[in-house]
């Protein structure tokens, strides 16, 4: 154990190295700053402790409030600390921050963070707590929470590309609150460098993914791309025009529906590769009325509109009093309590109103018949590889199932339902939603990236498969 004199010597050495000119002016008084600094740290610790318990708090001494406190971790960046105690004690607080924080981390609310913290008051008496951090440290604090920390390296690299591009494109998103990006799934989940749990936070492989893609972003025509991602799609992503209402011909041409043949590889690990949500007619009525729909009546029937990719892009709720409400794709998950927009209701499948498949052995591709056998014809994969169709080609249905393409152009051996656009009307005393996938159906599928990485695809191939037409470059 260090004697007090030895501790003072070590502190003096640190101060001399960090703050040479200041030390020369104050070295005779330095031993007096130690107890003053401990008092300052005690009150500063009270602030941190109150915030760690999850409460917002003001920090004040009698007759003296602290309008702003700024701490930057000296292990990572230049440092500065403002306190109400004067310059001398401020320097000691800086030293205590150096000694008490471990490996360049500052702890807050059970998590450790790189960079520093800013505490400031936007309105009223509450404090806004902001982590000020470098770009790559931020990405390290995202991908291990948004994706499995020990997932395949190439999948984590693809996730790092999306996370880095997202934050750069959305700087100042929450500027009115005094920060750039929030820490929840409304932006990107961020918990810094983890907690005391050994299996929580960045891992060796996730940090390697960030390091090996450092500075790289996803662009389209020289501009940062929109890079949404979600857990899984259940077989196909969706056009942004059907979810966000944007014009994908001009705004986000790379956010188009992509049929995903890879995600099914991970169905055994993905707990939401298939799911069921059921309601009685009365329960569904109550749920929808909770959103202000159909007041004073009950559900009569639903009309579902499917996209060519097999996703539900609109649902019209018809009520027994003759009124109706239209629910857009962006609201379907919340209104109906489902995990994705890829589902059937009461067994009525996608495209049930479409004309039957062409007869005579024709196969439908991109909405048109192809006469004769597919044997000997060529296909282009999502990664751009060209290969010849074998004797037994497979098809992916609108519901995301993979099955052999039988004669007559029907996948699955005799199903009367065709993948693709169409409407379905559903009614009854109960409503059972059978679906697959989890998320908003745009951009990159995380479980799809997992499966592609396991098949040997590189991160750039994964990114351009889900965001076709984009380029990877330095920001």
- Residue 416 is predicted with a pLDDT of 32
Is 219 found in the same domain as 157?
Answer: yes
399 in any annotated domain: no
Residue 29 belongs to domain spanning:
20-132
Euclidean distance between CA atoms 453 and 197, whole angstroms:
27
The pair of structure tokens assigned to 72 is 């930057």
The helix, strand and coil proportions of the chain, stated in percent and rounded to the nearest 5, come to: 30, 25, 45
User: Does residue 69 surpass a pLDDT of 70?
Assistant: no
Report which of 314, 141, 154, 146 is spatially closest to residue 230, judged by C-alpha positions: 146
Is 181 found in the same domain as 301?
Answer: no
Is 424 found in the same domain as 325?
Answer: yes
Q: Bridge-partner residues for 345, per DSSP?
A: 348, 433
- pLDDT tens-digit readout, 104-119: 677 777 888 888 888 7
4 in any annotated domain: no
Give the confidence band of 129 by pLDDT, cuts at 50, 70, 90: confident
185 in any annotated domain: yes
- Residue 123 is predicted with a pLDDT of 72
For the chain, the domain total comes to 3
User: Does residue 166 surpass a pLDDT of 90?
Assistant: yes
Place of tokens 């300052």: 40
Most confident of 70-79, 168-177, 302-311, 380-389: 302-311
408 in any annotated domain: no
378 in any annotated domain: no
Average pLDDT over residues 58-80: 37
In which element (H, E) is residue 243 found? helix 240-243
More confident residue, 33 or 85: 33
363 in any annotated domain: no
- Residue 160 is predicted with a pLDDT of 97
Is 282 found in the same domain as 427?
Answer: yes
- Residue 399 is predicted with a pLDDT of 42
Is 139 found in the same domain as 128?
Answer: no
């Amino acid at each position: 154990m260090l004697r007090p004199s030895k501790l003072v010597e070590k502190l003096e050495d640190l101060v001399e190295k960090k703050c040479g000119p200041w030390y020369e002016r104050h070295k005779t008084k330095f031993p007096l700053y130690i107890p003053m600094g401990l008092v300052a740290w005690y009150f500063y610790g009270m602030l941190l402790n109150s915030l760690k318990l999850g409460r917002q708090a003001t920090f004040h001494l009698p007759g003296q409030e602290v309008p702003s406190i700024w701490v930057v971790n000296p292990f990572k960046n230049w440092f500065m600390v403002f306190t109400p105690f004067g310059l001398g004690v401020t320097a000691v607080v800086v030293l205590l921050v150096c000694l008490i924080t471990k490996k360049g981390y500052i702890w807050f609310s059970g998590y450790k963070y790189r960079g520093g913290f800013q505490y400031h008051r936007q309105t009223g008496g509450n404090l806004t707590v902001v982590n000020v951090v470098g770009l790559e440290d931020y990405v390290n604090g995202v991908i291990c929470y948004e994706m499995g920390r020990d997932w395949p390296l190439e999948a984590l690299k693809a996730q790092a590309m999306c996370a880095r591009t997202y934050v750069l494109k959305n700087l100042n998103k929450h500027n009115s609150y005094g920060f750039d990006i929030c820490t929840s799934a409304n932006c990107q989940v961020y918990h810094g460098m983890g907690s005391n749990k050994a299996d929580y936070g960045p891992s060796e492989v996730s940090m390697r993914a960030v390091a090996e893609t450092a500075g790289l972003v996803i662009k389209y025509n020289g501009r940062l791309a929109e890079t949404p991602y979600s857990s899984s799609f259940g077989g196909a992503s969706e056009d942004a025009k059907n979810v966000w209402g944007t014009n994908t011909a001009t705004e986000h041409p790379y956010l188009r529906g992509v049929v995903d043949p890879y995600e099914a590889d991970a169905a055994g690990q993905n707990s939401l590769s298939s799911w069921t949500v059921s309601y009685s007619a009365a329960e569904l009525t109550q749920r929808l009325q909770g959103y202000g729909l159909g007041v004073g009546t009950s559900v009569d029937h639903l009309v579902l509109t499917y996209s060519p990719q097999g996703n539900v892009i609109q649902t019209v709720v018809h009520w027994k009093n003759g009124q109706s409400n239209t629910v857009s794709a962006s609201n379907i998950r919340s209104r109906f309590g489902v995990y994705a927009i890829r589902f059937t209701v009461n067994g009525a499948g996608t495209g049930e109103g479409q004309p039957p498949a062409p007869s005579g052995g024709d196969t439908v591709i991109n909405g048109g018949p192809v006469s004769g056998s597919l044997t000997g014809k060529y296909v282009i994969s999502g990664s751009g590889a060209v290969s010849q169709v074998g004797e037994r080609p497979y098809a992916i249905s609108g519901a995301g199932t993979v099955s052999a393409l039988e004669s007559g152009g029907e996948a699955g051996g005799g199903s009367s339902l065709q993948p693709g656009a169409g409407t379905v009307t559903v009614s009854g005393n109960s409503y059972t939603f059978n679906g697959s996938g989890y998320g908003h159906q745009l951009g990159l599928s995380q479980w799809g990236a997992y499966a592609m990485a396991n098949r040997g695809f590189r991160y750039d191939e994964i990114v351009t498969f889900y965001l076709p037409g984009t380029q990877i470059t330095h920001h």
